[in-house]
Structure 1
Amino acid sequence: MDTFKGFQKGLASLGGQITPFASRTFQYTKEQLGQAEDKTQLPPDYIDLEKRVDALKAVHQKMLAVTSQYSHEPYDYPPNIKETFSDLGRTVSEKVTLLSSASSPAEAQAALTAPPTAKPQPKTFPHAIARASLASSQTLHQQHTGAGEDPLATALEKYALAMERVGEARLAQDAQIQSRFLAGWTTTLNTNLLFATRARKNVEKARLTLDAVKARVKGTTWKLGAAGPHDAHQEHELSPEAQEEIEKAEDEFVTQTEEAVGVMKNVLDTPEPLRNLAELIAAQMEFHKKAHEILSELAPVIDGLQVEQEASRASAYSLQ
């Protein structure tokens, strides 16, 4: 009997020496293997908050995975385009200004390939269309031998200038989205939701610690073998020290749970994500409004050139 009591004391001493991390790890392993007899259950309201926070995190990750393209300038730049350094050297409006003063095909070509005065031009789809339109306009101008200007060449030049403005509006939209939407949602994901994750981990640590303490105390105070009437009464009795240890672990578990509830509610209740989404929509609206205004100004000009060309063509046929 003395040997058995010594063995019990040894177990108690060993349990007291186990680090909290090792104790939690051991408890977690037992739970994963299905060997834990009791597992402290989290309140249903707490579990509901966890599910809502997980959903919010998934939403942020999915939306950012797509909208982060707004911080990547050439997200709509055609991959099949082969533009040279000279193509990207100057803006379309700069080239048009230089071309207006060119008096020969050689000077016009020099204007198109003029050395850059600033950083390379943006690689966006509207800018690419603008550059292609201006180059096409000059190709037609150089081969035009009739009187006046080639109407298609003139239209392409005006279209080039308009699309460059559309491209600049797109860049302005992207800058607004980066600062007013992406920055906000990234902050929510990397701070608020991260704080919630840490708070939940603290709850899990506290729960594992509580269950580990219960299991250890239970294992060192319960008696082995068949229990008699007197033993049955004593079986679940805990020493004051053991009871105090359990109560301390329970208090820590409750404290961590309450803190996590507060953090998760704060994350779920903040209006910032919705405010950021409104900013995203506003930036998109502003871009499409601006693009509509630019093209609305251009459309009647192109229509006028078309009408003039058809009238000239009809007049030429009537004289034959």
Structure 2
Amino acid sequence: MSSPHHISVPTLTTDRLGRHNPPAKADLADRLFRYLMYAASGISVAILLMMGWIITGQALPAIKQFGLGFLVSQEWNVPELKFGALPMIYGTIGSGLISLLFAIPIGLAVAIVTSENLLPRWLRSTIAFTIELLAAIPSVIFGLWGFYTFIPLILPVQQFLYTKFGTTIPLFSTEPSGSGLLTAGMLLGIMILPTLAAVSREVLLVVPGYLRTGSMALGATRWETIFRVVLPKAFSGIVGGVMLALGRALGETMAVTMVIGNSENISPSVFSPAYSIPAILANTFAEAQEDVHIGALTYLVLILFVITLVVNVGAIALVKLVERGAK
């Protein structure tokens, strides 16, 4: 006779080999969760393919007229309906790489000092909060700040570099006016800094503590432990943060439009005005009337779409290559 406080417990069944099987309800929940994950993954892939299909369809007039020559042509003449993407590709990739050049060292430094107990807790929290607060600022505010404050701030430095090295180094061969590829890249570096620093910090925090203590127990200094043990262990996660940051840099529109100069020319100098794909879309898409013009702008969207995919696939391949070499 069972007591009134009797609690039924799901029993485990065994197979012919004596192995315990989980209760049927738990097995059903596991299978349901697995199917939901499959469905979510499938929906993500379907959305990606649908976006590519729609963009390609809208770009067909330009694809048929210009073909792959659109990628290497430098001409952008709206009255004559002659278009080429190379200046915009150059400006997009150039500003993105410059932004990483500035953001990666600063972002990693912030991540290290806020995760490795190098500073008092209150100071670490303050630095982390301040950097992450930048992510909440709208890009148009960054653009206005860049135009009215950042350009006057860095213009004397650009003038100095032009005066001292303009005749010998092509990167500084154009007299700076403030707006240009370097200015856009540096402003993007500030904008992507919160993403890179926050992701890198979280990755460093999950590195097992026994790796640090074991390394220092063997005689390594704190900095040797950080650079030889912690950072290599967190490499894949840091690369993920870099790719997220680069994705924002490649797609940024308003801030870049205000400071890049908006010129369809290619120059070896980083002080020269340039154009990015998002910037030319923001400036001219609403005014486009001819099918070829609209198709050319959509062709640029397709190129940016492909560049983003290539960057992410390349990052995954790099992480796998490094992990394979570490084994």
**TM-score relative to the length of structure 2:** 0.27
Bigger fraction of residues in helix: 1
> Highest Rg: 1 or 2?
1
**TM-score relative to the length of structure 1:** 0.28
